[in-house]
Amino acid sequence: MVYTRRDVGTLTPAERRRFVAALIEVKRRGEYDEFVRMHIEYFLPDGENGPRTAHMAPSFLPWHRRFVLDMERALRRVDESVTMPYWDWTRDRASTAAPWTEDLLGGTGRRSDRQVMTGPFAYRHGRWTIKEGITDVEYLMRELGRPRDPIALPTALDVENALADPVYDTAPWNSTSAKGFRNKLEGWGRGRGAVSWRNHNRVHRWVGGHMVSGASVNDPVFWLHHAFVDLVWSRWQRRHRNARYLPAKPPGPKDAQHGRIVARHERMPPWDVTPDELEDHSAVYRYV
Amino acid sequence: MWWRILMLPCKSNMRPRMRISDRVPEKAVTASVDTAAGCSSLAVDSTGFAGRRHMLRGLSASVAGMALAPFLVASGTAGPERACFRETYRGRRIVVVPDDAGLLGDDASGGWHVTVDGRPLHLMRRVDGSWMTMVDHYQSYPTPLAAARAAVDELGPTAQLGAANGTDGHTDDGGTPNVGQGVEGDHRNGVHA
């Protein structure tokens, strides 16, 4: 039966409690940290040798679609009423609004060490100890809006600029692809500094703390963020009905991306699944 | 193995020169550039933090030091951009050592071995020639030193680099985590309930 994914701000108090409880139970079971490890393992920038699936590659979107789906399955094994909510950062832009409330993810970190002190994921509750980090820090860190050097969340116009591109992705199929919906949404822009962070990347930067590291999955907002990125992909598919995942075929042997990216009908590690098989989610969930 | 991740040194003419960013206040930084030969003690020091890979390979700090010395002498003609560099930035000790031969193991990437307070900081390259670290995953920087400073910025006043900052994050045995192999065990299908 098809279930719905909803805007996190519309969840009832009971739904919020159950979502948070499911996350904490998945963490207690040790499953959550498997997801953190996997995201760390699959980070490989495009200047290094080797195949890329999770970032700086066409399969950024299907990879994270499957990743979120796997976490959602883990949550639903705990409580089948739970689905993954999304955070529409083009609308919920305040650091005091959902999902940063006491009954959801808690707020920003304190100034001295960015430790999250509020909400159910605060370290003092003993239920959210960081075990798979890039540093030795055991508490969750955030720095919403980066007060030391403020940046803004992406806007609806920024998302629209990505949505308007009728082509899924373009050569060279990496972080320098100037055209194509995928990189405009993933957000590797030109130039240096703040102007080069767009959409998905900029949100990681705005949240700060763990969210800017390879261990970004440690912050549960990772899932709400990527559910929204997934929703934006769905919107793009609806707007461009005949557009498909690209490349349709693997780059040839003389192409620098040969063997390094996943074409439409190729297996996308670590799963035995292809981007083609992940394009249509309508049999499993829909966004409202 | 298709998914094996390889770290190979880049071509020397592709490496950007190291430079001190203009945006950093002078008071925050004390820096020195060493001759290549003068780096040997630093390099040994930086291997004092033995990562898992070093342990697995049986590569002790002293062995690394002995192997490194002739390399450093040999690289003395490589030019100033290949000199090692150390500075104190925001109270953290950053050491950047050239390591074309990868003698320092997986912590040496793109020909550089970088440590912060003696702990390896794994550098990775973007195709545009910029540099990234696992501490700062969604942005890249023009030089290894700039990437190291950004990592220090993100570390804040107290955090230290841990084992998973890239050294142990990547596996070279082609293994994948066990994610999603729960009740469904469903790795073969697309979007199915």
**Nearest CA-CA distance, residue B67 and chain A, Å:** 25
| C-beta neighbour count of A190 within 10 angstroms | 10
Q: Which of the two residues, B86 and B24, has the higher pLDDT score?
A: B86
If contacts are CB pairs under 8 Å, which of residues 144-163 in chain B contact chain A? 154-162
How far apart (Å, rounded) are the C-alpha atoms in residues A72 and A23? Answer: 10
Which pLDDT does position B81 carry in this prediction?
53
The domain segmentation of chain A, as residue ranges, is 3-95+150-287
Question: Which parts of B108-167 are beta strand (E)?
Answer: 108-109, 112-116, 119-121, 123-125, 131-133
Supply B91's token pair. Answer: 């109270």
DSSP at A109: B
Identify which of A51, A134, A272 has the shortest CB distance to residue B3. Answer: A51
- Tell me the CA distances in angstroms from A13 to A20, A25, A64, A104, B47, one per residue in order: 11, 18, 28, 9, 52
- Chain B residues closer than 8 Å to A214 by CB: 134-135, 137, 164-166, 169
Which pLDDT does position B28 carry in this prediction?
58
Supply A98's token pair. Answer: 């959902």
Inter-chain contact B139–A70, Cβ cutoff 8 Å? Answer: no
Which pLDDT does position B172 carry in this prediction?
32
Choose from B22, B140, B179 for mutation: most chain A CBs within 10 A: B179
Q: Which residue has the tokens 């030193």?
A: B145
**ipTM surpasses cut 0.90:** no
Which pLDDT does position A194 carry in this prediction?
75
Which pLDDT does position B10 carry in this prediction?
30
Asked if residue B191 has pLDDT above 50, the reply is yes
Nearest CA in chain A to B177: A38
pLDDT of B89-98, one tens digit each? 999 999 998 8
Q: Which of the two residues, A237 and B76, has the higher pLDDT score?
A: A237
Summary mean pLDDT of chain B = 59
Identify which of B129, B137, B192 has the shortest CB distance to residue A212. Answer: B137
Is A216 within 8 Å of A204 (Cβ atoms)?
A: yes
Which pLDDT does position A196 carry in this prediction?
82
**Nearest CA-CA distance, residue A206 and chain B, Å:** 11
Which pLDDT does position A192 carry in this prediction?
73
Which pLDDT does position B62 carry in this prediction?
34
Q: Which of the two residues, B171 and B140, has the higher pLDDT score?
A: B140
**Nearest CA-CA distance, residue A228 and chain B, Å:** 17
Q: How far is CA B157 from the centre of its chain?
A: 20
Which pLDDT does position B37 carry in this prediction?
40
**Nearest CA-CA distance, residue A283 and chain B, Å:** 7
Q: Phi and psi of B74, rounded to 5°?
A: -65, -25
Nearest CA in chain B to A275: B190
pLDDT of B116-135, one tens digit each? 999 999 899 999 999 999 99
Inter-chain contact B179–A212, Cβ cutoff 8 Å? Answer: no
Nearest CA in chain B to A112: B157
Which pLDDT does position B109 carry in this prediction?
59
Inter-chain contact A283–B162, Cβ cutoff 8 Å? Answer: no
Which pLDDT does position A273 carry in this prediction?
98
Those residues with Cβ within 8 angstroms of residue B90's Cβ, 6 or more apart along the chain or in another chain: B28, B152, B153
If contacts are CB pairs under 8 Å, which of residues 24-83 in chain B contact chain A? none
How far apart (Å, rounded) are the C-alpha atoms in residues B102 and B107? Answer: 8
Those residues with Cβ within 8 angstroms of residue A141's Cβ, 6 or more apart along the chain or in another chain: A109, A113, A114, A115, A116, A208, A209, A210, B156
DSSP at B138: T
Class of CATH domain A3-95+150-287: mainly alpha
How far apart (Å, rounded) are the C-alpha atoms in residues A281 and B2? Answer: 28
Those residues with Cβ within 8 angstroms of residue B105's Cβ, 6 or more apart along the chain or in another chain: B51, B53, B54, B57, B59
Those residues with Cβ within 8 angstroms of residue A250's Cβ, 6 or more apart along the chain or in another chain: A258, A259, A261, A263, A266
How far apart (Å, rounded) are the C-alpha atoms in residues B126 and B47? Answer: 25
| C-beta neighbour count of B91 within 10 angstroms | 9
Inter-chain contact B179–A175, Cβ cutoff 8 Å? Answer: no
Inter-chain contact B164–A133, Cβ cutoff 8 Å? Answer: yes
Which pLDDT does position B14 carry in this prediction?
35
Fold topology of B25-155: protein ne1242 fold (3.30.1880)
Is A39 within 8 Å of A214 (Cβ atoms)?
A: yes
Q: How do strand A285-287 and strand A3-5 relate by DSSP bridges?
A: parallel
pLDDT of B45-64, one tens digit each? 333 333 333 332 333 333 33
- Tell me the CA distances in angstroms from A64 to A59, A68, A186, B6, one per residue in order: 8, 6, 11, 23
Digit-by-digit pLDDT tens for chain A (288 residues) are 899 999 999 999 999 999 999 999 999 999 999 999 999 999 889 999 899 999 999 999 999 999 999 999 999 999 999 999 999 999 999 999 999 999 999 999 999 999 999 999 999 999 999 999 999 999 999 999 999 899 999 999 999 999 999 999 999 999 999 999 999 999 998 877 777 889 999 999 999 999 999 999 999 999 999 999 999 999 999 999 999 999 999 999 999 999 999 999 999 999 999 999 999 999 999 999
The domain segmentation of chain B, as residue ranges, is 25-155
